[in-house]
Amino acid sequence: QNGCRNRVEFISQLAGISSREAKRRLKLGETVVERTPMGLPVPARYPVIAEGLVSGDLGLEAAEIIAGTLTALHGKVLQDDLDHVERALVASATGAITPETAGLPGAGIRFTPDLLRAQALEWQGRLDPDGAAPNDDTVEAKSTLTFGLLRHGLYPLRADVTPELRGIMDTLFDTYLSARSRTPRFEPTESGDDPSVLDGVDVADPNPDGERFSADPFSADPFTGDSRYDGDSRTAGEKRADILRCVFEAAARDPKTPAMGGAAPTVMIHINATDLHNGRGVGWIDGVDAPISFRRVTEAICAGGAQHVIFGTTGNILYLGDTVRCFTPKQRAAI
């Protein structure tokens, strides 16, 4: 009817929204709108959510979160408990103070959808503590980690992890990102004529680590005068990516890591000898379609060394040279 094949298309054209948004609203409407399945009106499944939507105090995203939580608890808890949770979550989402929220921390404060989702999980875990236990094996079996197709020079990393692994990763990231985890720096020192100055630190300074906090209170830069700030302007996502790289590099050097062909896991980068000699071209890693820039190739040679290999016209190895390193292991440790 009306030139539409189904109700999703009809709502999309009528409201001027996408099909995806229409499906979301239909799913929510099935729980908060009065129905007539047998010709007689049936009250909405979640009347408090419906009242909040009609009044305009409750947003669609918050309503979806609450309805999803109640649906997950439906049939597992008593109806009185389910009604209590509905009233409490709607009150938190709208900032209202009700008997369910009076006296609780945050009562009267309108929760954002993210905070509301966390509170909904708390309610779900309290009323149905064994609800997640039967799904442990299923959820763990569905955890996955894959690489997407190359896009703008980067491979997207797609993962579905368990809450336990999320906690491990968050703790590891927080450890590296903590304020006390600082990058080593070499600071200039004055001449050693003054005995009160030793290695750039004034022994009379009440701060033994030489840190000073003389920031201008009217400065727009929150790190002005703080010697601990090293000018790192990376975003949190960029820092996590670098931390993940450090973790994998440390795991590759760990003696307990399984060996490949009797050697530790080593990334082999190939580049044509002529290109390397002329200072141009790109490198390649086996199994990776994207090329490696010449700068990265030279950095890898500087850190791990290079090996000269000559191939024949049929791909057979004619010559295999020794690994030539720029620095000895002791020099690398010192650097």
Query: From the centroid of its chain, how far is CA 47?
Result: 36
Residue with tokens 């791990």: 304
Q: Is the pLDDT of residue 13 over 60?
A: yes
Write out the H or E segment, with its range, that includes residue 160. strand 157-160
The Cα–Cα gap between 116 and 66 comes to 8
pLDDT tens, 130-186?
665 556 677 777 888 899 888 888 899 999 888 888 899 999 888 888 755 555 555
- Average predicted confidence (pLDDT) for the chain: 79
35-39, 93-97, 110-114: range with lowest mean pLDDT: 35-39
Q: Among 60-69, 98-107, 225-234, whose mean pLDDT is lowest? A: 225-234
Q: What percent of the chain has pLDDT over 90?
A: 10
Q: What is the reported pLDDT for 66?
A: 92
If one compares 208 and 234, the residue with the highest pLDDT of the two is 234
Task: Give tens-digit pLDDT for 223-255.
Answer: 444 445 556 788 888 989 999 988 988 888 888
From first CA to last CA, the distance across the chain in angstroms is 75
Q: Is the pLDDT of residue 193 over 60?
A: no
Phi, psi of 31 (to 5 degrees): -105, -15
Cα separations in angstroms, 290 against 153, 281, 284, 294: 8, 13, 7, 13
pLDDT band at 209; cut points 50, 70, 90: very low
- At 91 the pLDDT is 92
Query: What would the pLDDT profile of 152-162 be if each residue is shown by its tens digit?
Result: 888 999 998 88
Map out the domains of the chain as residue ranges. 33-131, 267-334
Band (pLDDT 50/70/90 cuts) for residue 261 is confident
Residue 207 has pLDDT above 70, yes or no: no
Q: Decide: 160 and 142 in contact? Cβ < 8 Å.
A: yes
Tokens of 19: 């099909």
DSSP-assigned letter for residue 267: -
Band the pLDDT of 214: cuts 50, 70, 90.
very low
pLDDT interval class at 211 (50, 70, 90): very low
